[in-house]
Structure 1
Amino acid sequence: MNLNEIKTYFPILTQSVNGHPLVYLDNAATSQKPKVVIDTLEAYYQTYNANPHRGVHTLGVKATDAYEAAREKVKTFINAKETAEIIFTRGTTSSLNLVAQSYVGQFLKEGDEILITQMEHHSNLIPWQQAAKKIGAILKYIPLSPNGTIDLDNVKESMTANTKFISITHVSNVLGTINPINEIVKLAHKQGAVVCVDAAQSVSHFKVDVQDLACDFLAFSGHKMMGPTGIGVLYGKKQILEHMPPIEYGGEMIDFVGLYDSTWKELPWKFEGGTPIVAGAIGLGTAIDFLEQIGLETIRLHEKKLANFALEQLSAIKGISIYGPKNPEQRGGVITFNIDNVHPHDLATFLDQEGIAIRAGHHCCQPLMKWLNVSATARASFYLYNTEEDIEFLINGIKKAKVYFEDAFAI
């Protein structure tokens, strides 16, 4: 599959916005969907819409087979050891909250330390914040280096004998920083701590192997990897998941129900109460097929090339501040920036009139905005269907915006 022609696989990318060809650069928020994923959802609802695991009729069996086949695809995609380690959730946020309530809330105690960073998305900050309050644990932050990376010496210094749990993003959705997860996991395990990885910004951009990372938990969302919204994954090591209690009760997660007590199904179903997210899971399976057809190495090389080109072009604009590491090897396809005297929301609104979609705001990272000493930033994020031409449109749009706002201030 030729990446130069890949936009043709995405119906939404063929449209015009405000009289201009759509240039979609908000992929860190959500990715667009190829027609094959859309067709998969349509086929499910039109031909075998049924509840998995509950009926012996033809439609129910077909839905069950497709749902569990999607779980197998996820297992292979992240190289989990067992299918039982793959739990379907509503998304990264739900996955992390499951860990916060079922693991941290049950197995950590007063005085234990939870370690995170200031670059975390709110979904990987608030669950630990609230769990710490509830059990009397101590929430601590690994200091960031000035360029928005993590120094392993700071990790070591932040850990103590009381450090029991670490949760960290694989790739920052603001800084683009790719964190050294392998090394952090090794340090944590020496200390006897469990590690959870927010992989929302990594699994669809380069190869993620959970056995190689050796992390204990890993969470990600389908909608950021060309799958449907409302579906996500929690990977957990089987020996840990087996001891964790479910946090939602009813429906398909039960084994036996009596009047005064009940027992639960085995993994992974004990964490999937109620009607499963059937269409979402099946659509995610198709998205994985699409990604693997292209190849994660191909996608990573493409995004590095785009990031390097964008960094060069943006850096040449007077009055621009770019956040995060400048080395493309240290970052994903996310570039966050500000233009002097132009509010990010104003810039995003101006660019939208040119058909260019970027993100503006705090990006669900208010503590990081405080660390950067800004209230908001603009963000361009790339994916496999973006091109250097898209970046040229962005650069020209920013230059137009600068002239427009400079003239406006001059009035």
Structure 2
Amino acid sequence: MNIKDIRSQFPILDQQVNGRPLVYLDSAATSQKPIRVIEALEKYYKEYNSNVHRGVHTLGTRATDGYEGAREKVRKFINAKSIEEVIFTRGTTTALNTVAQGYARENLSEGDEIVITHMEHHANVIPWQQVARKTGATLKYLDLQADGTISLEVARRTITPNTKIVSIMHVSNVLGVINPIKELAQIAHENGAIMCVDGAQSTPHMKVDVQDLDCDFFAFSGHKMCGPTGIGVLYGKKHLLENMEPVEFGGEMIDFVQLHESTWKELPWKFEAGTPIIGGAIGLGAAIDFLEEIGLDNINAHDQKLAQYAYECMGAIEGLHIYGPKERTGLVTFTIDDVHPHDVATVLDADGIAVRAGHHCAQPLMRWLKVSATARASFYLYNTEEEIDELVKGIIKTKEYFSNVF
């Protein structure tokens, strides 16, 4: 990977913030977009903006080809068996809610179990809380080990024949831990449960093969992998999707509409009600092209190298605490003694360094860690070790500032 060449394709990085060169370390929240993606969106809106599927005119055909062509790119990207298993959504949250409302609410009842972990993003907690409340099912939490990792032995004790759904994130947006999804899916299937995966933080950083993982559902967002906001994907095994009812109704997803009843289109369109996210899908397709040209294995190696470098450099700072195991990908979450994470982020921002601070939509995990909030620096293919050096300098400056103030 030639980082200089890669960075040149992200115009937003070439700017100053508060009089200092921008150091963008918040890609776990949203990644920046390369010129290719921006131009793909511009080209669609400037040259062939049209609705898809129903029109027979030239612009409509071009838009449909772009939209459905992006679906095929997604299929190859995650190694789904067919395009019928690839549903476009607004993002990971919508995709997980589709599973919860379209599958779980229809198939669970009192006495059934849903298993998740304490590390989950709220998007993989609240939908299951709602399903449990509506169906009488029990929501169970798989206990984490001291370093925030999952023990397969504990998983085997927690997942039982009463378990119907296991839903776990592939990579933690706080701890950076990579969870053993393939092994967890095997345990789930041995007990007759389905495996649902929140892939928001893994898909941008590593090669995902849904057939190898043998997950039943897999959700991810475009905006974390160099694509536009407002577009995401739900992968589902065909036989499960075929037996699910849509969760949204209206145009595009129907076959025939009578006065008192209607029928639905075949997969995947029965889950895509209304005018779809056409520009977003086309932009996501361009992002996939970009990432595959660089190579997901190269991106993964680069991100892990940066994470290890940051872990070592930051770990040497007195009074700084890093959360999660040493083996991680793409991010470092931390606190500094006697300094609130929001203050850390504010002082760093004054030097042009962008990090995230707060509970990171993971309040159960914050309570498990016994903190109210943390700061998080997250890395992607365009970041460098020099930027981490700037982060370390900024953290030391922050410590000195607050020690003098108080």
- Taking structure 2 as the reference length, what is the TM-score of the superposition? 0.99
How far is 1:160 from its partner? 1.7
Q: Equivalent residue for 1:310?
A: 310
Shift of 1:159: 1.5
Equivalent in the alignment of 1:378: 375
Instruction: Identify which of 325, 346, 349 aligns with 2:346.
Output: 349
Q: Does 1:340 align with 2:337?
A: yes
Tell me how far apart the structure 1 counterparts of residues 372 and 348 of structure 2 sit (CA, whole Å): 20
Out of 386, 389, 409, which is 2:386 matched to?
A: 389
* Whole-Å separation in 1 of the counterparts to 2:67 and 2:52: 7
Distance 1:125 1:27 in 2: 22
Instruction: Report the Cα distance in structure 1 between the residues aligned to 2:140 and 2:82, rounded to whole angstroms.
Output: 33
Instruction: Report if the CA contact (8 A) 1:4-1:387 is conserved.
Output: no
What is the correspondence of 1:19-168 to structure 2 with a 5 Å cutoff? 19-168=19-168
2:246 equivalent in structure 1: 246
Q: Deviations over 1:265-311 (max 9, x none)?
A: 00000000000000000000000000000000000110111011101
**Residues 311, 326 of structure 1: 8 Å contact kept:** yes
Once residues 4 and 213 of structure 2 are traced to their aligned partners in structure 1, the CA distance between those partners, rounded to angstroms, is 32
Percent of residue pairs identical = 67
CA contact (8 A) 1:32 1:226 kept: yes
- Using the TM superposition, give the Cα deviation of residue 46 of structure 1 relative to its aligned residue in structure 2, in angstroms: 0.5
Q: What are the Cα deviations for residues 207-237 of structure 1, in whole angstroms up to 9, with x where unaligned?
A: 0100000000000000000000000000000
- C-alpha distance in 2, partners of 1:303/1:258? 53
Matched residue type, 1:358: V
Residue 332 of structure 1, CA deviation: 1.2
Letter in 1 for 2:362: C
- Name the counterpart of 1:324: 324
Alignment-mate amino acid for residue 279 of structure 1: G
* 1:405 alignment partner, one of 396, 402, 406: 402
Unaligned runs of 5+ in 2: none
Distance 1:309 1:248 in 2: 46
Cα distance in 1, alignment partners of residues 305 and 137 from structure 2? 43
Residue 266 of structure 1 aligns with which residue? 266
Contact residue 176 and residue 324 of structure 1 kept, 8 A: yes
TM superposition shift of 1:128: 0.4
Deviation string 1:52-110 (CA, Å, 9 cap, x unpaired) is 00100000000000000000000000000111000000000000000000000101111
Residue deviations 1:132-188 (CA, integer Å, cap 9, x gap): 100100000000000000000110111222101000000000000100001000111
Which residue number in structure 2 is paired with residue 204 of structure 1? 204
TM-score by length of 1: 0.98
Show the counterpart of 1:362: 359
Query: Structure 1, unaligned stretches of length 5 or more?
Result: none
Per the TM alignment, residue 5 of structure 1 is displaced from its structure 2 partner at its CA by: 2.7
1:4 shift after superposition: 3.4
Q: Which runs of 4+ in 1 moved over 6 A?
A: none
Report SS of the residue matched to 2:167.
Answer: strand
Aligned partner letter, 1:360: A
> Aligned AA for 1:336?
T
Say what the alpha-carbon RMSD is for the aligned residues.
0.6
Verify: 1:293 aligned to 2:293, yes or no: yes
CA deviation vs aligned residue, 1:323-375 (integer Å, no higher than 9, x gap)? 00012xxx211110000011000000000000000000000000000000000
